[in-house]
């Protein structure tokens, strides 16, 4: 287990050092250490059932944008061999643990990525937030969404999300679950177009001790029931 975790982290660290430099790498390392010691953040937690009634169709504003759905390390290696560039955004080690990478490219340049965890092991890296995901019942955790600065505002998130819904539903998945920080207004606005349920919560971590306070939103979930209950 420890070897697997180190393998994933080493894979990402290698690309960060190569593509973004030692200064950025050291900054990320200190940030991760600080969050391990103490973290106090407020999030929105979302759930979205994948039903046949929901059919979304968004088209990116960028001509030539293509979506690649990567499920195996072999697919990852094949794309790398064909000149596709991933940088530090994803590693084949993480895909090997059960993560699916939804990647939007323009001329082999990665413009947007969202990861879907289909196993408990991959969820630790996709979204370590302590909510319950019943993978055996078709639930999926998504996270680590990222859009390149120069391609923001081009509809890539909506395009990817609509394809993600369709793909996971065809795979027999039932529900997606994810979190967004309270100050990430752009992502909240985009997600709202897909009509998910959500609640507001506060997450406090002191070393290994974790506290979560759930604040139900009346317009979304009157009962206060959720994956933390």
Q: Which tokens hold the place of 92?
A: 């084949």
- What is residue 3's predicted lDDT score, i.e. its pLDDT? 40
- What is residue 29's predicted lDDT score, i.e. its pLDDT? 56
List of domains in the chain: 2-215 (3.40.630.30)
| Positions of the chain with pLDDT lower than 50, given as ranges | 1-10, 15-16, 24-25, 219-224, 229
- What is residue 66's predicted lDDT score, i.e. its pLDDT? 94
How large a percentage of the chain has pLDDT more than 90? Answer: 61
pLDDT digits (tens, 9 = 90+) for 126-160: 998 889 999 999 999 999 999 999 999 999 999 99
pLDDT digits (tens, 9 = 90+) for 193-203: 999 999 999 99
- Number of residues in the chain: 229
């Amino acid at each position: 287990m420890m070897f697997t975790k180190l393998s994933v982290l080493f894979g990402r660290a290698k690309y960060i050092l190569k593509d973004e430099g030692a200064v950025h790498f050291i900054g990320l390392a200190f940030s991760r250490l600080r969050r391990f010691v103490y973290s106090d953040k407020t999030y929105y937690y979302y759930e979205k059932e994948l039903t046949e009634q929901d059919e979304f169709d968004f088209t990116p504003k960028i001509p030539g944008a293509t979506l690649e759905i990567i499920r195996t390390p072999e697919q990852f290696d094949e794309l790398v061999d064909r000149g596709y560039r991933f940088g530090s955004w994803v590693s084949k080690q993480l895909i090997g643990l059960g993560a699916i990478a939804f990647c939007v490219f323009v001329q082999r340049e990665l413009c947007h990525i969202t990861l879907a965890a289909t196993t408990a092991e991959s969820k630790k890296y996709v979204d370590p937030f302590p909510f319950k995901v019943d993978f055996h019942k078709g639930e999926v955790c998504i996270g680590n969404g990222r859009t390149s600065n120069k391609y923001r505002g081009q509809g890539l998130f909506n395009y990817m999300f609509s394809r993600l819904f369709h793909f996971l539903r065809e795979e027999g998945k039932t529900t997606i679950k994810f979190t967004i920080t309270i100050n990430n207004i752009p992502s909240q606005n985009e997600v709202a177009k897909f009509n998910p349920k959500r609640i507001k919560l506060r997450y406090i971590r002191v070393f290994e001790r974790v506290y979560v306070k759930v604040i139900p939103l009346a317009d979304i979930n009157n009962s206060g029931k959720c994956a933390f209950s």
